[in-house]
Structure 1
Amino acid sequence: MHAWPASEVPALPGQGRDLRIHDTATGGPVTLDPGPVARIYVCGITPYDATHIGHAATYNAFDLVQRVWLDTKRQVHYVQNVTDVDDPLLERAERDGVDWAALAEQETQLFREDMTALRMLPPQQYIGAVEAIPGIVPLVERLRDLGAAYELEGDTYFSVEADPRFGQVSHLDAAAMRLLSAERGGDPERPGKKNPLDPMLWSAAREGEPSWDGGSLGRGRPGWHIECVAIALDHLGMGFDVQGGGSDLVFPHHEMGASHAQALTGEFPMAKAYVHAGMVALHGEKMSKSKGNLVFVSRLRQDGVDPAAIRLALLSHHYRADWEWTDQVLQDAVTRLGHWRAAVSRPDGPSAEALVDEIREALANDLDAPAALTAVDRWAVTQEQQGGTDTGAPGIVSRAVDALLGVAL
């Protein structure tokens, strides 16, 4: 599966700072010190509907992570999956009377177009669950052989008790885990499971559903969590730098994925930091495909909204915060974009050296994009009210905003 085109990241004078970021697993900030190649895995979409603002906010956060690393002169190895076979996708295809594979490809392509418009840096590997099946099956078989998985009526489950560190990503109690498991794709009430929290590794073939050869597992399809584990381990290995996604993935997805990987390898941790973006609401409720309260990036673009303004709207909120999308949020971003473009269109201006330093410091401090935006606002106001004599300043500001914030002026 192919990703989307990469926009050029301008080179800036000097060098950025190492990233300090909030780690869900430890509950506090960690300073990441990757080697020459920083490794990041971000969980991708289940493509049964178009990209909404909640998705865009999540991928914007991890785009900033990449930009901070690139500014430190590191390379970035970024991997993202596409869950192109799963219950929600199959249910939507059946509801609409369309082929599930065609629906997945249609929505994945729209996602690519939205990411391109928003100048999100693409992953080096963009892997669908279906194409990952040949690598998933041996991992499930290995877990079974290790005694970390068991069969139940043809399905194969992971035993959470096989990982002594289970729970160290989310730090939730059993009752909270059980509730979230039921809400987020698990089946804690199924009789016969060793533990209600045990997640599916391999689902045996069901009538009317797609299935693949699972070797000794029989025909079927993979569970959600093992999909990401197989892709991450194949391309990044254990101990990669950041596992990313929305805060709704902390449990069960990232908790279960960590346990799968740790049981498979005997190593800890799967990722050095678990980083999660907040949820975006509309009309007082979290944007959700199941609720249908969505603002689509593609619809905004069709309505003539500049993608740079959409990106500024996302950047105006801290990535870990839960916030609400409103018409005013977008209008404020449109206004800000106009001010910035006017400021950098002049032939000279105030020195930009301190501004670049402020943007770098803000982003290195747990991706504080709102502080970075405020710094650019101050420079633009000074430019408007006082001007300056530095003929290189507008160009430097324009390149810094593009390189570090992903906004093309």
Structure 2
Amino acid sequence: MKDVDLHIKALGVKGDGIANIDFGKVFVPFTVPGDVVRVSLEKSKDRVRRAKVLSILEAGTERIESACRHFTKCGGCSVQQLTNSSYQSWKQNIVYQALKRKNIDTSVLKNLIPGNPHTRRRIRVSALRLAKETVIGFRERGSRRVIALEECPVMVKEILGILPQLREFISQTLKVGESGEIAITYTHTGLDITLFLPKEPSLANRERLALFAETHDVSRINWNSFPSKFEQAAEPIVTRRVVTMEFGGVAVKIPPNAFVQPTAQGEKIIREKITEVIGKAKRIVELFAGCGALALPLASRGHHVSAFDLAENHIAALSLAARSNGIGERVRVQTRNLHRRPLLGSEFDKVDAVILDPPRGGAAEQATHLAASEVPVIAYVSCDPQSFASDAKVLIAGGYNLINVMPFDQFLWSSHVELIGIFEKINA
């Protein structure tokens, strides 16, 4: 395709610069409004015209140096080239546009709470054994190529620091051409590492992992063999310390590769906002409860919580923690697929508040039944403004007011935004 010069006019919700040419919009990654760039137009695969920057002819006033040498190659970050104020405005606008597209009152949107570098405590990276080297990192944008991470301003330093040692282990474990993934969580008792590799662990692998954990002070190492990829199937190979997270002062022994909020700051923001909104509500239902990051602190404050989640090992960890911390009588748990078996209207009778924190795709089926309930207050935690807005529209149609939406930047330099939406039943 031919090279053309473009003037970037705006920034899209995915972080790409937008320019206009004769046949419509062109999306140009890693640019900022005001940039004049020479680009190579790419072939359109999905009716969306994209271009690759060849050179920056004139830099826009909103452009700054990126925070990482891997930026534009590593697919982990999409926007590091913006000034801080422009970056925060862009993130705020992602939520604003999601609400606007569903004709939801945007005046309820609060200002974005900013995030901080080196706070990401849960990551999942790719590993690839090549003939001359082994690489561990995130994949290049739009590619299967793995970018070897030498630095990362997003993740906590404890995780970044273990990657070179893991690279050495992977090089001795995989054959040339083989690949896998590594999930790492930095917990209150140290690193919890889960290897997703295309083979069963041999005796030699087990022995080397035991030495690895001892040498590098890793709390636990788990192994999940491809092609199953079932998260709950991970086998703990080495456990040097009980892997524990503390949620609002309540200790929980979490399973391998457990879901936790990506940052401690984000978890704290969610917990404090939920506690404020719940107030004196006595009976609470939490949907998609995970290991109890919200349910357990609420129960410790005297609330009665019924917690539901699909992951059996997460619910088991929640239940054990409730009993171990002396709040078992205030916590009821159930393993349940809320997409296939959502709670029905009658199951919300006598419930004072509902909390839900669904996966990225939202909770369409559950929102329909929740909208028909008379629950006075709903606190909806979401990592996707689009699915949140869709579910919010259903709740509003069912007689709820969306009181406020509080976004916060838990996914630094990416197009993802975490938010909390608070709903109140009209005339409840």
**TM-score between both structures, scaled by the size of structure 2:** 0.23
Normalized per residue, which structure has more strand?
2
**TM-score between both structures, scaled by the size of structure 1:** 0.23
Normalized per residue, which structure has more helix?
1
The structure with higher relative contact order (CA 8 Å, sep 6+) is 1
